[in-house]
Amino acid sequence: MPERELRIAIVGAGPSGIYSAEALVKAAEEREQPMAIDLIDAVPSPFGLVRYGVAPDHYSIRSVRDALDRILHDHRIRFFGNVEVGEDTKAIAAADSVAPQQISLATLRSMYDAVILSYGAATDRNLGISGEDSQGSISATQFVAWYTGHPDTPADAWVDLLAHCASVAVVGVGNVAVDVARILGKSAEELQQTDMPEHVLTALSNSAIRDIYIIGRRGPAEATWTTKELRELGELAEADISVRGVDTELGPTSQLVVDTSKVAARNVGVVKEWVTRPAGKKSKCIHLRFFARPVAIEVANGHATALIIESTQLTPKGGVVGTGEIERIAVDAVIRSVGYRGTALSDVPFDHDRGVVPHDEGRVLHGTGPVRGLYVAGWIKRGPTGIIGTNKKDAVNTVSSLLYDLDQGVLSNTEPSRDDLADVLEDGFVDHAGWRRINDAEIALGSSRGRDRTTIHDRGESLAASHVAEGTGRTSPASQ
């Protein structure tokens, strides 16, 4: 164990990055090991998908932010927001530029004893059907980023589309698909209570949407959504729910799933109850369509006009085969919600098939051997699965490997340069005090409109809110 301070950089300040920092702080206390932990994120605010993924109307889950924020208060942890790990670029070229400053992994590794990669999985999977690139064909990743106010999503992304979109298909039967359908089905009043940016609230409140189709290749027993989230679809103020009785008739494959899974049994129970509901008269309707796989998006003048689906059957092993029966659902937009996917970072080994960084108990692997001092945690380690809390256990696993390597003397092979990241970046980042000022500005903005909080979407506005240093709109620890 080195007597000198152990220096760790963490790339990505989502749950897995913050839980990794928490596990390191705990170890520093227990071992009386001096430690400095720098958490780096490409956006000005911490919390990753808890801010830019978790549905804005799921208040208790979003409040996990408060618990994560408490961890950041530890004196050993510094936050560096608006700093992207990619290529080395010297400080921001133009004083008014708001782009994140970049730093390469090689530079980071030369400055720290160890680097933990926890940069998440921010792209989407494709359906692999024709018409997928047309206007009106949207990935759930992009749509969720827009309604939560991610700074990289244009404010006007789907404003025109929503204003003219009467019918939309959401492809996928997981919790993200449910989130998207529910947000589209909610009334202006229901959305007003959320922290969505103002332009999102206006666009959704003025949307022309009447019909929302949720499309699943398998049946209600095989859907991966959770029962609580599913039930919410049937409780919306302005949207009815519609299910075809035939979709709830279980074949032997589905019956086996229901017999062995309580969640599946509950989900099927909820859906069956909806079949018996009398037809409603609300202004919108959510249609659940099971045993249907998308085979094409019909396009006219570059714009999606219909989703073509084929009926399916399950094989005894749970596979899906098409029956050849084709149906056309007229839609103005298709939202593809078939999974998030990680992307490669320069100079980091990557498993392109699985969209994850290969590892052994959190140690990044190059071939079969570990890369000294490089670790991975969270979605980019294990793929986009589990709940927020899963990342805590996962981060503890990675940090345990790091500490084991420390004890074995593996990390002390090379002395890091000990350059301070704050000096290397000059003034091009948002620190924890700067993030607290963004937080205060969002609460003040919300309260000026009768809301608890309004997310600031624009990167420049966030930087201005974090502002301390004159003229730069950025903050640094020295300016606290």
Nearer to ligand FAD, 255 or 343 (CB): 343
Residue 11 or 214: the one with the smaller Cβ distance to ligand FAD is 11
The residue from 69, 74, 84, 238 that contacts ligand FAD (CB under 6 A) is 84
- Our CB check for ligand FAD shows the closer of 61 and 320 to be 61
Other CB atoms within 10 Å distance of the CB of residue 125: 17
CA distance 81 to 293: 41
Name the minimum Å distance from CB 33 to ligand FAD: 24
Using CB under 6 A as the binding rule, whether residue 388 contacts ligand FAD is answered as yes
- Judged by CB under 6 A, the residue of 118, 137, 398, 454 near ligand FAD is 118
Question: Does 17 sit near ligand FAD (CB under 6 A)?
Answer: yes
Contact 39, 78 (CB under 8 A): yes
CB of 201 to ligand FAD, least distance (A): 18
Contacts of 378 (CB under 8 A, 6+ apart): 12, 14, 15, 16, 17, 118, 120, 391, 394, 395
How many C-alpha atoms does 417 have within 13 Å on its Cβ side? 11
What part of residues 133-152 is at the interface with ligand FAD (CB under 6 A)? 144
Contact call for residue 435 and ligand FAD (CB under 6 A): no
86 makes contact with ligand FAD (CB under 6 A): yes
Task: Tell me how far apart the alpha carbons of residues 393 and 379 are, in angstroms, rounded to a whole number.
Answer: 12
Of 216-224, 230-238, 323-331, 386-394, which part binds ligand FAD (CB under 6 A)? 386-394
Cβ closer to ligand FAD: 123 or 205?
123
Three-state SS annotation for 74-102: CCCEEEEECEEEECCCCCCCCCCCCCCEE
Contact stretch for ligand FAD (CB under 6 A) within 87-95, 303-311, 381-389, 427-435: 381-389
**Binding-site member from 41, 124, 190, 211 for ligand FAD (CB under 6 A):** 41
Give all strands of the β-sheet with 292-300 in edge-to-edge order: 292-300, 303-314, 320-330
Q: Is 176 in the site for ligand FAD (CB under 6 A)?
A: yes
- What phi and psi values does residue 77 have, to the nearest 5 degrees? -105, 130
Q: Does an H or E element contain 402, and which? A: helix 390-407
Cβ-in-10-Å burial (0-12, 13-18, 19+) of 266 comes to middle
* Closest distance to ligand FAD from the beta carbon of 175 (Å): 6
- Which one of residues 24, 37, 39, 48 is an interface residue with ligand FAD (CB under 6 A)? 48
Query: Alpha-carbon distance 262 to 283, whole Å?
Result: 34
Q: Which CB atom, from 11 or from 306, has the smaller least distance to ligand FAD?
A: 11
Q: Which of 202, 203, 201, 196 is nearest to 457 (CA)?
A: 196
Where does this chain bind ligand FAD (CB under 6 A)? 11-17, 40-43, 48-50, 53-54, 58, 61, 84-86, 118-120, 122, 144, 176, 179, 340, 378-379, 386-388, 391
